[in-house]
Structures are given as structure tokens and as C-alpha cells.
Amino acid sequence: MTEVLVTGAAGKTGRAVTKALVCRGARVRCAVRPGSSTPIHEDAAARRVPVDLATGEGLGVALAGVDAVYVIAPNVNAREVEMVRHIADAAVAAGIPRVVYHSVMHPDDTAMPHHLRKHEAEKLLREKPFGLTILRPAAYHQNLRPAALAGEIAVPYSLDVPFTNVDLDDIAQVAATAVLTRELDHAAYDLAGPQELSVRELAAIAADVLGRPVRATQISREEWLAGPGAALAPQPRADLLAMFTAYDREGFAGDSTILPRLLGGAPSTWENVLSVA
């Protein structure tokens, strides 16, 4: 049975990837911050291991005997490159043959600093001797689903620019394939969803699917700073403001032809994601 270490395992991406791996017969070591009580995907084949990505503490023990590592860094983290370096060095020391890195679509976009950090992390991983696969997903449908279900999608950027949002569960299936097979080795893949839709169109579709009004609202940066952005540290707050500016200019859309090939079938649509119980 394949044994996999998943970093960032307590986040929504980590939980989805862990579930996909377990469903395909893997055992998963779920790396979480020391002392964290945040839930992981609950399964007999998944267990928590304490790892401090900021220092690398715990990586040696967590990696001992595993067959592959799925690398997820904390979201919009200024130390991502340093964290990925800790993982890469420990993986080399442990003789890990395969690493899969969860990057982002358009990692070289100079308008978004947190994307550029992933670009730098990709470069350092390529210099290591292990087999490497890089997955570059678009924004998740799941980021907007709760707002749509609540009746209003409020965002601090244009309602009319295009997005190719993607289902997180589809990303998790591709991640499991990358970890457990050799099919996606030695390459990087942009993972965009099958529809190019603006926030205004996402809201209109949600209203049709749910059978009730769903508004699309553009809020000001000041409203965002006073609301969702208020609890953030200065660095991620600045990174997200830069992202909103980039979204205002051109949205966040990518090549929708790659994901169906990797899945071996049609990706989930926004309608599909909204219809899940």
C-alpha cells in the first residue's frame, strides 16, 4: 500500500486530496502544525503527524518510509518558498522518489506576489533529484459556493471579467493520479474548469439552479478591508489587494482543455457543484 505525506492537510485542499488518496487505497500521513486541533479528513487510513513547515521540524519523522509527498503550502504565505525548501531538502535526505507540488494557475504573473512565490518554489523543486509533478489549479468553485447558497456573491473586483473556476474535488482526483501513478510525471499542468464565467454570470446561474435570487455585488476595497480583510496580517492583506487589482484588469481564466484529459472525463460545472447536497 502506498504511503503518502500530505502537507497542509487540515486545509480544504489538504482534506480533499487526503480523501481522494484514501479512496484509491493509499495510507496518508496528514502533516499539521504542532498543537493544531483543526480537523483532517477522518479515515482509518489517515493519521495526523506534527510538522512545522516554517522551521522544518518534524519533517524527518513524517517522511520516514513514505513513497511520495503532496506539497500544499499555507495560503498566501510570505514564507512559502522557505517552507517548500524545507520540504524539498528533507525529501532528498529521506530518499523520497516523487513529489507533487500544488501551485497555482499563472504562477509567473508579476501582478500577484503570492503567485510569484509559487513560481520561485517551482524553480527550486525542479533543481532536486526526485520526480516532480506540478499542478496549477484555477480558483475553486467552492470559494464562492457558500456565498451563492446564502444569496449574495460579494467580491472586491469587477463582476464582468472572466474566470475558469474549477471543482476542488476534480483537482483532488488529478492530485491522486499524480501521486499514485506515473501518468503525470515530469510535467506541469494548468487545471482550469470547463466554463468561462464572470461573477455576474455565476450569480445568475446559481439563481437558476437554486430557484431563488442570488445577487452579484461589487464591494469597494475599503469595505473588504473593514470586513473579510480585517483579520488578515499585513502581508496577505497586501497580496490579496494586488490580486483584486489583477482580477479587475483581466479576471483569472485559463486553458480548459487540459483537465478533461487528466480526469478521463468531463469536469464538474458550476451547476454540478451547486447541486451537491
Give residue 141's pLDDT.
98
Tens-digit pLDDT profile for residues 151-179: 999 999 999 999 999 999 999 999 999 99
pLDDT at 277 over 80: no
Could you count the other beta carbons within 10 Å of the beta carbon of residue 143? Answer: 12
CATH architecture for segment(s) 3-141+165-194+254-267: 3-Layer(aba) Sandwich (3.40)
Contacts for 27-31 with beta carbons within 8 Å, 24 or more apart? 27/1, 27/2, 27/3, 28/3, 28/4, 29/3, 29/4, 29/5, 29/62, 29/66, 30/6, 31/5, 31/6, 31/7, 31/58, 31/62
Could you count the other beta carbons within 10 Å of the beta carbon of residue 65? Answer: 11
Give residue 276's pLDDT.
86
Spell out the residues 6+ positions from residue 69 whose beta carbon is closer than 8 angstroms to its own: 4, 5, 6, 7, 63, 87, 91, 96, 98, 99, 100
pLDDT band at 7 (very low <50, low <70, confident <90, very high): very high
Give the C-alpha separation, 90 to 61, whole Å.
10
With contact defined as beta carbons under 8 Å apart, do 155 and 121 qualify? no
Give the C-alpha separation, 115 to 103, whole Å.
8
**pLDDT averaged over every residue in the chain:** 98
Among residues of the chain, what percentage have pLDDT more than 90?
99
- pTM of whole model > 0.95? yes
Helix (H, G, I), strand (E, B) or coil at 56: coil
Could you count the other beta carbons within 10 Å of the beta carbon of residue 274? Answer: 19
DSSP conformational letter for 57: B
Mean pLDDT confidence for 129-136:
98
Among residues of the chain, what percentage have pLDDT more than 70?
100
pLDDT at 23 over 90: yes
